[in-house]
Structure 1
Amino acid sequence: MSIELLIYAAVALFLVFRLFSVLGKRTGHQKRPDFPPGAAPEREESRSGEAQDNVVRIPSANDGAAPESAQFSGPAGEGLRAIRGADRNFDPDSFVDGAKKAFEMIVTAYAEGDRKTLKNLLDKATYDSFSGAIDAREKAGHRMEDMLVGIDSAEITEARLDKDIAHVTVTFVSQQVNVTYDGEGRVVDGDPSTVETVSDEWTFARSVKSSDPNWQLVETRVAA
């Protein structure tokens, strides 16, 4: 064998050794891949029993990987599970998010006398009650200002399924400034400089068989 062939062979062996040494270990400085939400990497065991770092599982809907809402084990858990059994798309946490948005819209619409918005969010009986109060306020020449400073908490406290109608009650604790003015701009009720803590219980309802995903406010009361 010539000297040149021996040199080439030695160089090839050196390159193979270097390549193996680089690919065969992790230094801890490699960039972590960007995983989509809900697809955090899981370490799976290979057939040899060694953990593989390069396997990523995206959980399916049947894996049970998504954590169940804590609301199911709360005070309204039994009713929520009944609703979930009739409507697999029902999620208590998403419901609360929507209820908070509805709360803000309804409080604002009532103060502004916005009947159109109220009609879309309330059932007929509740709308008639709200509209009647607005009529009385306007007849007296009064104007209401209601500033929702913020919602401290919104918790599902009751839930039930009556045949195919789901009812969910949310207790809202919010910070508000409520003031009513007369036609001359004088304060007749409330204090514009005072932020009040207000506790309300609102009940929303919808048919679990309806293709319309929207809920309507069907009852309001002051929280005990």
Structure 2
Amino acid sequence: MEFFDFGTIFFLVAAIVIFFQLRNVLGRRTGNERQPFDPYTSARTGPKPEATSPAENVVSLPRRKGNGEPDVEAYAAIDAFAKPGTDLNKGMRAIHDNDPTFEPKTFVDGAKMAYEMIVMAYADGDRRTLKNLLSREVYDGFVAAIADRESRSEKIQSSFVGIDKADIVAAEMKGSESHVTLRVVSELISATRNSGGEVIDGDPETVAEVKDVWTFARDTRSNDPNWKLVATEADD
């Protein structure tokens, strides 16, 4: 009986030691796990460090003067994009006043990533990706076009070459929503094939220049950082 008691205690201790070792190796959920990728904000914020000091914050609120007016330095990045006093500059400043994280260059970088994702998702008929990046009205239009294409058993064969140019051409606040319009010039290889595999539109071997004017919007009152495509038009 003494041997049985000793063996029982020995295995119990061993089990406890193994438990704590696994706990240290595998870790625990802390509630601070990385959030899903967002193309509009990832370029602006980047990964957050585990511990920061005020000087290490990736995104800081604009400093304000004693009279409550934003410091001129807070608009430096905007002034580099658009001449002070122009409608474009005023629009971006208004957006910045309502959303201190807004900065033209990093916004354009994120919008370019979203542009490619949307173009390829439309070609592939990827409704899930489109739903996350489009407003309801634009999404319904894209999905209707995809469904019409599928009803004829047509498929789009696309290869995204790259974006030659992406410029902010308009910016404004509409109520609590910030709206930013981009003129995008991209290169794309695209061809539409019928059910028999014959090319009925485009060219599978030719790089074509595509010009678009897209408007993205975001509600500045929302905790959701995502911008969504709210309007599209071809730039002829």
Q: Specify the structure having the higher radius of gyration (Cα).
A: 1
CA–CA distance in structure 2, aligned partners of residues 109 and 133 of structure 1: 13
The answer to whether the aligner puts 1:193 opposite 2:193 as a matched pair is: no
Shift of 1:67: 4.9
The answer to whether the aligner puts 1:160 opposite 2:169 as a matched pair is: no
Distance change >3 Å, CA 83–CA 181, structure 1 → 2: same
Report the 3-state secondary structure (helix = DSSP H, G, I; strand = E; otherwise coil) of the residue aligned with 1:161.
Answer: strand
CA–CA distance in structure 2, aligned partners of residues 109 and 222 of structure 1: 18
Deviations 1:9-60 (A, max 9, x none): xxxxxxxxxxxxxxxxxxxxxxxxxxxxxxxxxxxxxxxxxxxxxxxxx799
Distance change >3 Å, CA 65–CA 125, structure 1 → 2: closer
- 5+ residue gaps in structure 2? 1-54, 64-70
When the two chains are superposed, the root-mean-square deviation of aligned CA atoms in Å is: 2.2
**Runs of 4+ with deviation above 6 angstroms:** 58-61
Distance change >3 Å, CA 126–CA 183, structure 1 → 2: same
CA–CA distance in structure 2, aligned partners of residues 185 and 110 of structure 1: 19
Distance change >3 Å, CA 211–CA 72, structure 1 → 2: farther
Check the 8 A contact 2:134/2:228 in 1, yes or no. Answer: yes
CA–CA distance in structure 1, aligned partners of residues 173 and 98 of structure 2: 9
TM normalised by structure 2 equals: 0.66
Check the 8 A contact 2:168/2:183 in 1, yes or no. Answer: yes
One-letter code of the match for 2:114?
A
Aligned to 1:68: 77
Deviations 1:169-217 (A, max 9, x none): 0110001111000111110101111111111000000111111111000
Report the 3-state secondary structure (helix = DSSP H, G, I; strand = E; otherwise coil) of the residue aligned with 1:76.
Answer: helix
The structure that is helix-richer by fraction is 2
Distance change >3 Å, CA 86–CA 145, structure 1 → 2: same
Question: Percent identity of the aligned residues?
Answer: 46
Aligned to 2:181: 169
Q: How many residues align?
A: 167
CA–CA distance in structure 2, aligned partners of residues 91 and 117 of structure 1: 25
Check the 8 A contact 1:86/1:208 in 2, yes or no. Answer: yes
Aligned to 1:115: 127
Aligned to 1:147: 159
Report the 3-state secondary structure (helix = DSSP H, G, I; strand = E; otherwise coil) of the residue aligned with 2:77.
Answer: coil
Aligned to 1:98: 110
Shift of 1:76: 1.8
The answer to whether the aligner puts 1:222 opposite 2:234 as a matched pair is: yes
TM normalised by structure 1 equals: 0.70
What is the aligned counterpart of 1:184 among 187, 196, 201? 196
